[in-house]
Amino acid sequence: MAPLEVGDKLPIDVVFSYLPYDVKEDMELTPEEKQELICKAPEYYNASHEWADKKVALFAMPGAFTPGCSGQQIPGLKATLAKFKTQGYDTIVALTYNDPWVMQAWRKENGIKDEILFLTDVDTRFSKNLTWNEGDRTSRYVLLLDRCQVVHAVKEEDFSQVTVTSADNIFHQMQLLKEEAEQS
Q: Which helix (H) or strand (E) holds 173?
A: helix 167-183
Contact at 8 Å (CB) between 166 and 57?
no
- Residues with Cβ within 8 Å of 34's Cβ and at least 6 positions away in sequence, in order, are none
Among this protein's residues, is 148 annotated catalytic? Answer: no
Residue 162 CA to its chain's centroid (Å): 15
Contact at 8 Å (CB) between 50 and 147?
no
Find the catalytic residue in 60, 69, 77, 95. 69
How far apart are the C-alpha atoms of 170 and 84, rounded to whole Å? 9
Determine how β-strand 15-18 pairs with β-strand 141-146.
unpaired
- Residues with Cβ within 8 Å of 24's Cβ and at least 6 positions away in sequence, in order, are 33, 37
Catalytic residue set: 69
